[in-house]
């Protein structure tokens, strides 16, 4: 079996099928951490088999400040652009763009805290740390690596039924993959992801309280 076939099967069974199921079932979406854990066991096996190091996943201090400086302005622009969309879009159309929140209702502060300390770091470990490392095992062209990484990151947000989230995650994916490819530092993209995500939750809650 070729390396391409194995990769496509991985994408099918550990991405396409789970995302499809999460999109049609809010109960499964609530249990997404369990599904991610199962996929995580396979990822861990793949990393151990390939003798990957933490540095291969972006866990190192090299280039931290340069990477952080590079990502600050794009992150701020994403937050500003989102705020302007909420501010300038008619309420009914904005409601369509935002979609509906299929996650269980939780305390607003707990939602932000969970996003910052759990969701953002896990997403970056998966989509920048592991996925880019895995894609590079198969593809060498930087444009192909960027395209696949951005596509997977964007489509992973389909379960939230929000056109606006898909647009935002597309641009976040573009910013993060370029920054990560240049500096190979997972800490900075995680910090940005946590800050941007928390800001977007706050903005959304101002118009459509959780």
Distance in Å from the first CA to the final CA of the chain: 48
Q: Full-prediction pTM beyond 0.75?
A: yes
- Listed residue (80, 104, 31) closest to 196, CA to CA: 80
Angle formed by the axes of helices 163-183 and 142-155, to 10°? 140
Total tally of structural domains belonging to the chain:
1
pLDDT tens-digit readout, 92-137:
999 999 987 766 666 888 889 989 998 899 899 999 999 999 999 9
Tokens of 206: 């101002």
Check residue 40 and give its pLDDT: 78
Check residue 24 and give its pLDDT: 79
- Domain interval for residue 83: 3-207
């Amino acid at each position: 079996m070729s390396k391409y076939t194995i990769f496509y099967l991985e994408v099918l069974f550990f991405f396409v099928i789970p995302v499809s199921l999460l999109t049609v079932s809010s109960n499964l979406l609530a249990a997404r951490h369990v599904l991610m854990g199962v996929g995580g066991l396979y990822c861990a096996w793949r990393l151990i088999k390939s003798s990957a190091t933490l540095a291969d996943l972006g866990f190192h201090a090299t280039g931290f400040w340069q990477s952080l400086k590079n990502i600050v302005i794009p992150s701020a622009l994403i937050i500003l652009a989102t705020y302007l969309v909420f501010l300038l879009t008619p309420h009914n159309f904005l409601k369509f763009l935002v979609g509906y929140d299929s996650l269980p209702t939780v305390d607003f502060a707990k939602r932000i805290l969970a996003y910052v300390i759990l969701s953002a770091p896990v997403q970056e470990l998966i989509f920048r740390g592991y996925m880019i490392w895995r894609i590079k095992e198969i593809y060498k062209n930087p444009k192909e690596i960027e395209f696949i990484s951005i596509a997977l990151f964007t489509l992973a947000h389909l379960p939230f039924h929000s056109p606006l989230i898909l647009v935002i995650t597309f641009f976040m994916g573009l910013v993060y993959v370029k920054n990560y490819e240049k500096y190979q530092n997972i800490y900075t993209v995680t910090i940005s992801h946590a800050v941007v995500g928390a800001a977007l939750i706050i903005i959304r809650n101002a118009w459509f309280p959780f």
